[in-house]
Structure 1
C-alpha cells in the first residue's frame, strides 16, 4: 500500500472519531450543568482544557461563556479540531481515496458534513443543540459501522483502525485528566451526591455509564470508574482496550517492531497502575495521565516513522 493512502486512512479514522468525541463532550457538559447546583458547576472552560486548545481559544475569545465555547468547538473552521473542521478534513481525505473507501461511507461522510454545515444556526442554539449533536454522534457512528462492515479488512483498514483507536484513547485520558481536577472531593460526605453526578458525566462522555454498571455492579465511585476506564479489557472505549486494538492492527503490518515495543510499554504502564492509589491523589493521577499521553505521542511518532513519508508540523498529532 502507498504511504500516502495509508496516511489518508489513518487521519480519516482520527477525524471521524474526533468529530464524534467533540459532539459528545459538548452534549454531556450541557447536561451536567443542568444537574448540578449553580455554585458547583464547572462551567464551559473544562471543554477547552480537554481539547488542549486554551491558547488558540484565548486569542479569539475574551471569556469562557457558553456561546463562545460551543461556537469554537462546533463551528469554528479556523480551529482544526472543531466538529465542522474535522468533518471537512475527513471528507477531504475520503474524497482523495474514493477508490479505497466504500462509496456508501464516502456518501455518508459528505452528507454528515453538509448537515453539520447547513444546520449551524440550530446547532448553536440551546433549543436545537441536542438534536444537532445527536445527529453528529449517530452519523459518525454510522460511518464507522459502514467502514467496518463493508471495507476489506486489509492493510488499509488496519491504518484506519489505528487512527481511530489512538484518537479514542487520547480523548479518554484528556476527559479524565481535566474532569478529575474539577470533581468534588470524595471525603466530603455532604457533597457526595454531586461528586457522583460528575463521575457519571465522565462515564457518559465516553459512552461508558451503562457498561460500567453492568460490569462493576456498584454505584459510581472514583476508583472503580478509573479502573473501568483505564484497565477494562472488554469495553471498547477503555484505554487498555484501545491500546490493545492498535496493537492487534499493527501486528498485521510489516516493519512493526518499534511500534509494537512502544505499544507494549504503553499497555504495561496502564495495566500495572494502582487505581485505588491514583483515586486518592489528583497529582499522581495527573502525572500518570501525562505519562500515558507521552507514550501515545510516541506511538503516533513510531507509526508515522514506519509507514508515512512525513507528518507536517501541526497536522493534528492529537489535539
Structure 2
C-alpha cells in the first residue's frame, strides 16, 4: 500500500474519533452543569485543558464560558482540533483515497461533515446542543460500523484501526488526568457528592458508566476503581489497555511480524508500552502518582504515533545504494 494512502486512512479515522470525543466532553459537561453549584469557569476550564490547547484558547477568547468553549471546540474554523475542522480534514483525507475506501464510507463522512457545517452556520440554540452532540457521536459510530462492514480488512483497514484506537486511548488518558489533577476546586470536596457527580460525568464521557457499574461491586463510585477500569481493563473498548492491545494486533497484521516480537521502531514502541501495562496494577500507578503516570503515558503514546509516521508515512529521498537501477549500472562498470 502507498504510504500516502495509509497516511490518509489513518488520519481519516483519527479525526473522526477526535470529533466524537470532543462532542462527548462537551455534552457531558452540559448535563453536569445542571447539577453543580460552581461558577462557569470551574465547569468549562477543564474541558479546554483536555485539548492541551488552553494557551491558544485564552489568547483568542479570554474567559472560559459556555459560549466561548463550545464555539472554540465545536465550530471554530481556525482551530484545527474543533469538531468542524476535524470533520473537514477527515473529509479531505477520505476524498484523497476514494479509490481505496468504500463508497459508503465516503458518503458517511461527507454527510457527517455537511451536518456539522450546517450546524456551525446556523449556530444551534442551547436547547438544541444536546441533540447536535448526540448526532455527532452517532455519526462517528455509524462511520466506524460502515467501515467495518464495507471495507476489506486488509492493510488499509488496520491503519484506520490504529488511528482510531490511538486517538481514543489518548483522549481517555486526558480526561482522566484532568479530573484527577485540576477539576476539583478544592481538596475539601474529595469524597463528597460533588466529587461523585464529577466521577460519574467522567465515566459517561467515555460511555463507561453502565459497564463500570456492572464491573464494580461497590455502591459508591471509587476513584481507584474508576482509574483501574479506564486504564487497565482488557475488555472495555474505550479503556487504554484495550485500545493499545488491539492497535498492537493491527500493527502486526500490517507488518507480518509474529506477535510479541518486533522488527521496526513502531512495533517496539507500541509493544513495549502495551507490555508495561500488562504487568501494572492500580497500586503501582497510584504509588507513582496518577497524574505523573498519565503524563508519561501520553508522551509514550505520542512517541508511538511519531514512530508510526517515520516507519510508514514519511517520504524519504532514495539513496544511491537503494536504487536498483544504479546498483545494476555500478555492477556493469566494475
> Is the TM value for this pair above 0.5?
yes
Aligned residue for 1:261? 268
Check conservation: 1:186, 1:195, Cα contact below 8 A. no
Of 305, 308, 311, which residue of structure 1 is paired with 2:310? 305
Matches within 5 A, 1:75-114: 75-114=75-114
What TM-score do the two structures reach when normalised by structure 2? 0.86
Check conservation: 2:42, 2:185, Cα contact below 8 A. no
CA distance in 2, matches of 1:118, 1:190: 42
Aligned residue for 1:33? 33
> For 2:33, what is the secondary structure of its paired residue?
helix
Matches within 5 A, 1:67-216: 67-120=67-120, 124-184=124-184, 192-216=192-216
Aligned residue for 2:5? 5
Structure index of larger Rg: 2
Aligned residue for 2:242? 241
Shift of residue 272, structure 1, vs aligned partner: 3.5
CA distance in 2, matches of 1:68, 1:5: 36
* Deviations 1:239-266, CA, capped at 9 Å, x for gaps: 0000001100011122762222212221
Instruction: Work out whether 1:289 is the aligned partner of 2:290.
Output: no
CA distance in 1, matches of 2:40, 2:17: 31
* Deviations 1:150-172, CA, capped at 9 Å, x for gaps: 11000010101000000000001
CA distance in 2, matches of 1:269, 1:220: 27
CA distance in 2, matches of 1:49, 1:143: 27
* Deviations 1:1-21, CA, capped at 9 Å, x for gaps: 000000000001100000100
Distance 1:189 1:180, change over 3 A: closer
CA distance in 2, matches of 1:136, 1:53: 22
Aligned residue for 2:228? 227
What TM-score do the two structures reach when normalised by structure 1? 0.90
Aligned residues: 309
Gap regions ≥5 residues in structure 1: 312-319
* Deviations 1:187-236, CA, capped at 9 Å, x for gaps: 86895222111111111111111111112232321000001000000000
CA distance in 2, matches of 1:25, 1:124: 17
